[in-house]
Structure 1
Amino acid sequence: MTSSQYVDTLNAPRPRGHYAQARIAGDLIFTAGFGPVDPATGALVGPGDVAEQTRQTLRNLQAVLAEAGATLADVVKLTAFLEDPDRDWDAYDAVFPEFFQPPYPARLTAGAHLGTILVEIEAVAVRPGSQTLAPGPQ
């Protein structure tokens, strides 16, 4: 069995159940799904505003990755869920260039019932300095 490390930071929302904010396994970091919650207050950020909720969600991912020694530049795959993809896709997608530069990570975005939030995102990142990834297009 492969050993792994838990990632835990107060700079991202605390788990609401029996799961880790992230796990490191070998050269990879797997995050939990995060939503638009302010980790300091526990309050929902940007009610009704998918762009602001996406920004907060990505800030939460940044905090967990930082605790694991990585950045959003190390992300290779994102999985995202939108409460209403037809309504919110454009505003959600427009936020990504604020946080990512080409080559962008691979990404899946799907619709899901999320209750009071509009977006949830999880990530897989490669630990800096690993040889897991080949260079991108030249």
Structure 2
Amino acid sequence: MSKAPKPVGSYPLARKAGGLLFLSGVGPRIAGSDQHDSGVPGLSLDHNGNFKEFDFAAQVHSVFANVKAILEENGSSWEKLVDIQVFLVDMKRDFHTFNRIYAEYFADVDPKPCRTTIAINALPTPIAIELKCVAEPND
């Protein structure tokens, strides 16, 4: 059983091609949670789906844990990431927090992966961040 949450659509968590591992968009939901419940650390919603509690830093730590789990389950690792696309729902509010946490997770990684951060207006579930990653396999 995967330590990462199931995809919210008909696609794999990861696929190997051309000697690389491509991860589908990875969010912060906890493995075993349903796409219709929150299942997101630091997030609780009222009966209308409005935020009661929101902790973006908790979502960042959770999405990184999910990426690590998918990488390890597919024969790669955090240090083998070569490219990361970051999708943020609120760039103004969350970019600096993301950058700070990202720097902590990659402090000892050399070479560091390329990265692109993209502002978007929504994701398909009530999350504020999603990562799209490419990695090399472990040697």
User: TM-score interval w.r.t. the shorter chain?
Assistant: 0.7 to 0.9
1:51-66 equivalence runs, <5 A: 51-66=57-72
Q: Closer, same or farther in 2 for the Cα pair 1:102/1:49, shift >3 Å? A: farther
Residue aligning to 1:117:
127
Residue aligning to 2:51:
none
Unpaired stretches in structure 2, ≥5 consecutive residues: 44-53
1:1-138 equivalence runs, <5 A: 10-42=2-34, 43-47=39-43, 48-100=54-106, 101-112=109-120, 113-114=122-123, 116-129=126-139
Task: List 4+ stretches of structure 1 deviating above 2 A.
Answer: none
Residue aligning to 1:135:
none
What's the Cα RMSD here?
A: 1.5
Query: What is the CA distance between 1:51 and its match in structure 2?
Result: 1.5
Query: What is the CA distance between 1:52 and its match in structure 2?
Result: 1.3
CA deviations on 1:64-110 (whole Å, 9 max, x unpaired) are 10011111100000011001101110101111133223432101111
Query: What is the CA distance between 1:124 and its match in structure 2?
Result: 0.1
Query: What is the CA distance between 1:50 and its match in structure 2?
Result: 1.7
Unpaired stretches in structure 1, ≥5 consecutive residues: 1-8, 130-138
Q: Which amino acid aligns with 2:21?
A: I
Q: Distance in 2 between matches of 1:68 and 1:99?
A: 20
